Amino acid sequence: MTTQAAGRVKRPQIGGVLLPLAALALLVVAWYGAVRIWDVPKAVVPSPELAIEQIAKRADYLIDQSLFTLFEVWLGFGIAIVVGVALALSLSASRMLDQAFSPILVGFNAVPKIAIGPMLVMWFGFGYEPKVLVVVLLSFFPVVLSTMAGLKSVPADLIELTQSMDASRVKTFLKVRVPWALPQFFTGLKLGISLAFVGAVVGEFIGGGRDGIGYVISAARTQLNTPLAFAAIFMLALMSVLSYYLIVWLERVLLPWARETSR
């Protein structure tokens, strides 16, 4: 590899780390400046150092609550992936199933999931089950819809080429359609993981209990402890970003060919 080529490889990697950090630093500076200039009460919006102080002071508590939310997120997200991929494969493999169930799927996707939350609590109680199910409901649809879109986006001439080589329908599906759909599948995962964290917090708001980042935010709000609420929001954002980039890393490792063709 030449020096020029090595530079092209390293620059995106460095920029992918430094640019978000620089943007975050600018946001923190803007936050600090706005609080100081307009003299905003800490009960409304605390200054950044007060939120950081809460993170340092209550680190063990925030980490424990974050891990509980992280468990809900990844359990629900895992269920959504398994069910969503199975459904997408089934609908894409059968035109009859696709025509029968795709309109129903679109209709369910339009239902506000927060309206279903109280019913889940009524059905499953105040444990972690209704919270996990809210995660499943929010992250399921991006996975299944993106996977179906990828499976249906294979060019017709590529399918005709495989048929001219006497490839069976099953072999064409596994060797052509599924690899072609993987980039779209990972797009659905990246969207779904962000919604999974929203679902977990919404479930914790609705489902009661004393565990999870959603509970911390709700309790801090009732106690007018805004710095703690902002500290919990920071922990939630940190978990979401790390989970998102974990999926990005998996995509780069498992689909290096997709990354090359996108340049």
Q: State the Cα–Cα distance between residues 151 and 140, nearest whole angstrom.
A: 17
Structure confidence by residue, pLDDT tens digits, 53-103:
999 999 999 999 999 999 999 999 999 999 999 999 899 888 888 888 888
CB contact burial 9-38 (16+ within 10 A = b; e otherwise): eeeeeeeeeeeeeeeeeeeeeebeeebeee
Q: State the Cα–Cα distance between residues 79 and 70, nearest whole angstrom.
A: 14
CATH topology of domain 46-261: MetI-like fold (1.10.3720)
Q: Where are the domains of the chain?
A: 1-40, 46-261
Structure confidence by residue, pLDDT tens digits, 19-52:
878 888 899 899 999 998 998 888 889 999 999 9
Q: State the Cα–Cα distance between residues 127 and 122, nearest whole angstrom.
A: 11
Other CB atoms closer than 10 Å to residue 243's CB: what's the count? 20
Other CB atoms closer than 10 Å to residue 78's CB: what's the count? 15
177: which DSSP letter? I
